[in-house]
Amino acid sequence: PLATTGELIAAARQNNRAVAAFNVITLEHAEAIATGAEQAGADAILQISENAVKFHGGSLTAIAAAAKAVAGTSRARLSLHLDHVVSEDLLKRAHAEGFSSVMFDASKMTYAENVKATAEAVRWGHERGIWVEAELGKVGGKEGEPPLDAHAPGVRTDPDEARAYVEATGVDALAVAVGSSHAMTERTAALDHELIAALQRAVPVPLVLHGSSGVPDAEIREAVRSGMLKINVGTALNTAFTGAVRAFLEAHPSAVDPRKYLVPAREAMAGTVAHFLRQLEG
């Protein structure tokens, strides 16, 4: 059934575990996330990013409706989250399109600008019952971004700044830069677990790990034990999807019906979803 992100986060917190949010690009992604969550017996968040909206010609409506329909008919509890929102126009559509949460991404702004823009987004969201996540520090690695030096000042999230930021903005959850990076196709990221523990002590709201595709299972489990509550996974689904399509087309070079290769692609993504969900018990 369709749940709200706030409900799923509260349940994860109560059960000392984390909830995963998976990026939805196509209908098959949403179906695979539902299947994987059912297989693992876990909740999950269906997240649609601003970049995915751009892929759908700038329209949120169709892909949001698809994700919502999948959630409504699933045995797993699934919520809808709008991810990495930079555009205020898109932010303002979240409520009407059925999203219970958004991640407002002002991470490219200066600290002062980030605080101001995020506080406004939070005020707007809370008036409509929307749960708002924001990022402090720079996870980096998103499409079109230059590679980051993960050790440069201002890249990793500072615990004192995080405390002040959460107080000043009123965010419901904080995405932190602790060693992961977006769009990794190998699981080689090393997390700073001392920093995660320090951030967990510094801020009262749940912490969010972005770029989890590149983080090894053992590191994810340790991060959950240190208090990471929302684990965002995108690229790993695409790696599974594309690998399955490539293998099928290599073995069947004359295939033309997309259903023939989307079935293994969807199964591969569901397997990846279930695998990640099984790491979140802390």
Q: Which is nearer to ligand G3H, 206 or 234 (CB)?
A: 234
**Which of ligand G3H, Zn ion, none sits in contact with 206, Cβ below 5 to 8 A by type?**
none
CA distance 172 to 155: 21
Determine whether 83 is an active site residue. Answer: yes
Size of the site for ligand G3H (CB under 6 A): 16
Three-state SS for 45? strand
Q: Left, alpha or beta for 105 (phi > 0: left; psi -120 to 50: alpha)?
A: beta
Q: Which residue in the block uniquely carries the two structure tokens 């823009």?
A: 117
Query: Is 107 near ligand G3H (CB under 6 A)?
Result: no
Instruction: Provide the minimum distance between the beta carbon of 117 and ligand G3H in the complex, in angstroms, as a whole number.
Output: 18
Considering only residues 4, 101, 232, 272, which one is a binding residue for ligand G3H as defined by CB under 6 A? 232
Considering only residues 17, 77, 84, 138, which one is a binding residue for ligand G3H as defined by CB under 6 A? 84
Query: Is 230 near ligand G3H (CB under 6 A)?
Result: no
Residue nearest to ligand G3H (CB): 234
Query: Is 51 near ligand G3H (CB under 6 A)?
Result: no
Written as six digits, the tokens of 105 are 């991404």
At 83, which helix (H) or strand (E)? Answer: strand 78-85
Listed residue (63, 93, 68) closest to 1, CA to CA: 68
By CB under 6 A, the residues from 19 to 48 that bind ligand G3H are 23
> Under a CB-based contact definition with an 8 Å cutoff, are residues 45 and 74 in contact?
no
By CB under 6 A, the residues from 135 to 194 that bind ligand G3H are 182-184
Q: Is 11 exposed, middle or buried (0-12, 13-18, 19+ CB in 10 A)?
A: middle
Considering only residues 77, 93, 210, 221, which one is a binding residue for Zn ion as defined by CB under 5 A? 210
Q: Which is nearer to ligand G3H, 160 or 240 (CB)?
A: 240
Query: Is 211 near ligand G3H (CB under 6 A)?
Result: yes
Q: Which is nearer to ligand G3H, 68 or 182 (CB)?
A: 182
* Buried b / exposed e along 134-169 (16+ C-beta atoms within 10 A): bbbbbbbbbeeeeebebeeeebbbbbeebbbbbebb
Catalytic residues: 83
What residues make contact with ligand G3H under the rule CB under 6 A?
Answer: 23, 83-84, 182-184, 210-214, 232-236
